Amino acid sequence: MYIGVDYYPEHWSKERWELDALLMHSAGFNVVRMAEFSWVFMEPEEGKFQFDWLDEVLDLLAKHEIQAILGTPTAVMPAWMAKKYPDSLAVDKYGNRLVWGVRKNNCFSSMSYNLLSERIIKTMAEHFSKISNVIGWQIDNEFGGPICYCEICHKNFQEWLKNKYQSIENLNKSLGTHFWGHKFNYWNEIPIPDDMNTHNPGLCLDWKRFCSWMNVKFQHNQVKILRELCPKHFITHNFMGLYPDINYYDLSEDLDHVSWDNYPVWKDNPFNEKQEIFYGASLSADVMRGLKQKNFWIMEQTAGPGGWGSFGRNTLPGEIKKISYQQLAHGADGIIWFRWRTCTAGREQYWHGLLGHDGKPLRRYKEAAETSREFHMIENEIKDTAIKTQAAIIYDYDSIWATQIQPSFDGNNYVENIHRYYNALLRQGINVDIIKQDEDFSKYKIIIASSLYILKKSTADKITTYVKNGGIFLTDFRSGVKNETNICYDITLPGLLTDVLGIEIEEYSAIPLNTEYPIKNVDGNEYHAIKYMDWITVKNAEVLANYQVQYLNNFAALTKNNFGKGRAYYAGTIIKEENFYDELIENILKDSGISSVIKPPLGVEISIRQDSSKILIFLINHTINKKEVKVPSGAEILINLERIKDTIILEPFGVEVIKIKKVL
C-alpha cells in the first residue's frame, strides 16, 4: 500500500532534504508526489532543461525506500513563457488577457502553450523513465478552468459544433434557435454563450461540454507522450471530488486509475450535536470510484488547518486518522497527505501540512505515522479487496450542467438532491456505487436516479427493461424533462418514464420560499414538502403519500408502481424532514431484499471492502462521543486487537476494521 506526502523540496534548502527523507521513512511513508508546480525549475529558460536538483532528491528518497509520482508541471507556466508568448494566457469574457501569476491561467487552444507543454513533458519523460524510484505520473494539477474567450477558442467551439451537428440546419433544429429569432445562417455567427442564465440553454450545454472536452483533450495529449516514453509508469490525475465543471467520466478514460484531493475539514463545528458523518467525503469517494468502477488514490488530503488568507479549524486528535480510514473504507489504495511541511512563503503559507513552518515532527506527523503503521499492518488483508454493492445512484454531468443552466426552481441543487438518498443509505450501513447513465444496470437490485433532468431515450429504455426484469428503481422531480440538446420533451411528464412509473404529471409548481405543504404517508406520518411539487395523478401506481393542502390534496407526493417483476418509485417533491428519506430507503431496501451487515448507530459510518474469501467491515466514528457497535459474532478485530467481543466501543473519532470470513 502506498502512503506518503506531497513534497516540495524546492521550497527548502538542500541541507534539509536528507532529514525530510529520514523522517518520512520512519513514519512508514513510501511515496511522495512532487514537481507539479516546478516547470520553471526544470526549464529555467526556454529550451534549457535542468533536472539535477530533482535527480538528487529522488536519489535521497530512494536511499530511504521512498518512491515518487511526478506531476507534469503544466498547471503553472513559467513567467518567461507568458512574457514571450502572451497568447499562452487565457482571455476573460471582456476580452482581457489574464495577468500571469496564481496558476491555471493558460489558454488550451494556444499553440505556444501546447507546444511548450509537449516539450517539457517529453523531456521529463525521457529523463525520468530511467530513474528507478519514479513509479507514476500525475497529469497537470486539478483540471478546471480557466474558461478562455479568445478568438481561437471561439473558432474551435464553432468547429466543435460543426463536427457534432454537421449542418447548420441540424444545429438550428437541435438547439431550438427559432426562439427569439436566434437562427444561424453560418457557423461563424455562433457566439460563445457568456451568460449561462440567459443564452440558449442548448448552446450553453454544448459550451459546457466543449470546455470540459478541452481539458480532456489536453490531458490526452500528455498521456500519449507518457505512454510511449514511460510504459512502466502509471498515469493518474488529481480530481476534485464533486467538482461539477468537467465530465469526470471522460477525464478518467485515459488514466490507469483516478486520484482525488480530499479536504473535508473546513469551518464546521466539530463539537456540534448533530453527529454527522462526513457525507461529502464519502460521496466524493464513491463518485471517484465510480468513474472507472475501480479503486482510487488520495493524492492530497487535509493535514492541518487550510486556507489562503485566513484558515479553517485544525484537525483534532484522531481526525487525521479517521479521515484516512474513511477513504480506505470507500476504496482508496493509496493515501497522500497535503503537504509534508507548511511553506513559509507564497499564497499557501497558511495551508498547513503534517509539519508546521518549523519543520518539527509533532502531533500531526505522529498521527499520520500511526495511521501509516496501522495501514501497513492490514495491507495484506486489504490488497485486492473492492466494494461490492447492489445499490447504485446515477450521477450525470449533463443533468448537473442543465440544472446549473436552468434549475427549474429556486434552490434546486443536484448534489444536495443526490445526498438525500445517499446519506439515508449510508445511515443504513449500505455501500453505494455511483454510476453513469450508460452503466450496466443489471448488476444492481436498486437504482436511484435523482433529478435525472437530461434523460436519453436509450436510458429510459434501459430503465424500463431493468424494472420489467425485477429491478427496484427510484426517481424524483425534474427527471426525464429534457433531451440531450437541452430541449423539453413534448410529452406529458414523466415523459419517457410514464409507463414504468404508472403516473402522470400534467402540471407542476414551485413552492414559494418559507412555505411548506404538509403531506401524509400511508402509515399516517406527517412530513413537509418544500421548494417544488409535481401535481401527480396515478394511472397504475399506488399512492404512498399525498398532500394535505386545500386544492392540492388530490395529488400524490410519493408513488410506487408494480411493473413487470419490479417496482418503480417516484418522489415528486423535496421533503424537509430527513427521516422521510430514512423511512423511504428502509422500505426500498426491504422491497429489494438488501440488508446491512451492521446497522450503525448515529454518527458511525460502516463501509465494506471484500474479496472472494472475506469481508472487511470498516467502522468509523465521526463524532466526539464514544460509540458502541454490535458486530457479528466470530468477527476478527484487525486494529485494536485486544477487543475480541461482540460489542466494540469506538473512541471519539475512533476506527476499527473487522474481518468476517466468507463461507465458501
Where on the chain is the footprint of ligand GAL (CB under 6 A)?
A: 141-142, 261, 300, 338, 348, 351
The C-alpha atoms of residue 333 and residue 2 are separated, in whole angstroms, by 7
Cβ-based nearer residue to ligand GAL, 142 or 534: 142
CB atoms within 10 A of CB 111: 12
Cβ-based nearer residue to ligand GAL, 30 or 141: 141
In terms of Cα–Cα distance, which of 372, 428, 425, 491 is closest to 28?
372
Q: How far is the CB of 475 from ligand GAL (least distance, A)?
A: 34
- Find where cell 433532468 sits: 453
Q: How far is the CB of 261 from ligand GAL (least distance, A)?
A: 5
201-229 and 397-405 helices, crossing angle to 10°: 140
CB atoms within 10 A of CB 292: 16
The residue from 15, 46, 126, 142 that is catalytic is 142
Cβ-based nearer residue to ligand GAL, 348 or 484: 348
Helix, strand, or coil (residue 301): strand
Q: How far is the CB of 101 from ligand GAL (least distance, A)?
A: 14
Q: How far apart are the first and last CA of the chain?
A: 27
Cβ-based nearer residue to ligand GAL, 300 or 656: 300
Q: How far is the CB of 347 from ligand GAL (least distance, A)?
A: 8
Cβ-based nearer residue to ligand GAL, 71 or 601: 71
Q: How far is the CB of 300 from ligand GAL (least distance, A)?
A: 6
Cβ-based nearer residue to ligand GAL, 306 or 471: 306
Q: Show the cell assigned to 103.
A: 496558476
Cβ-based nearer residue to ligand GAL, 348 or 370: 348
Cβ-based nearer residue to ligand GAL, 141 or 479: 141
Angle, CA 546 vertex, CA 541 and CA 550 arms, to 5°: 135
φ, ψ of residue 377 in degrees (nearest 5): -65, -35
Cβ-based nearer residue to ligand GAL, 347 or 626: 347
Q: Residue 53 in contact with residue 134, Cβ under 8 Å?
A: no
Q: How far is the CB of 76 from ligand GAL (least distance, A)?
A: 10
User: 246 - beta bridge partners?
Assistant: none
In terms of Cα–Cα distance, which of 419, 356, 414, 408 is closest to 578?
419
The residue from 36, 300, 605, 656 that is catalytic is 300
Q: How far is the CB of 92 from ligand GAL (least distance, A)?
A: 21
Helix, strand, or coil (residue 406): coil
The C-alpha atoms of residue 336 and residue 456 are separated, in whole angstroms, by 38
**Is 43 known to be catalytic?**
no
- Find where cell 509534508 sits: 340
**Is 142 known to be catalytic?**
yes
Three-state secondary structure string covering 334-386: EEEECCCECCCCCCCCCCCCCECCCCCCCHHHHHHHHHHHHHHHHHHHHCCCE
DSSP per residue, 509-537: EEPPTT--EEEEETT--EEEEEEEEEEEE
Q: Show the cell assigned to 558.
A: 410519493
Q: Show the cell assigned to 600.
A: 450503525
Q: How far is the CB of 338 from ligand GAL (least distance, A)?
A: 6
In terms of Cα–Cα distance, which of 338, 354, 331 is closest to 284?
331
Q: Show the cell assigned to 264.
A: 473535508
Q: How far is the CB of 49 from ligand GAL (least distance, A)?
A: 23
φ, ψ of residue 516 in degrees (nearest 5): -130, 140
Do the strands 647-650 and 627-630 form a parallel or antiparallel pair, or are they unpaired? antiparallel
Cβ-based nearer residue to ligand GAL, 142 or 433: 142
Q: Residue 192 in contact with residue 183, Cβ under 8 Å?
A: no
415-448 b/e with 16+ CB inside 10 Å = b?
A: bebbbbbbbbbbbbbbbbbbbbbebebeebbbbb
The C-alpha atoms of residue 577 and residue 557 are separated, in whole angstroms, by 14
Q: Show the cell assigned to 463.
A: 430503465
Q: How far is the CB of 33 from ligand GAL (least distance, A)?
A: 10
Please list the active-site residues: 142, 300
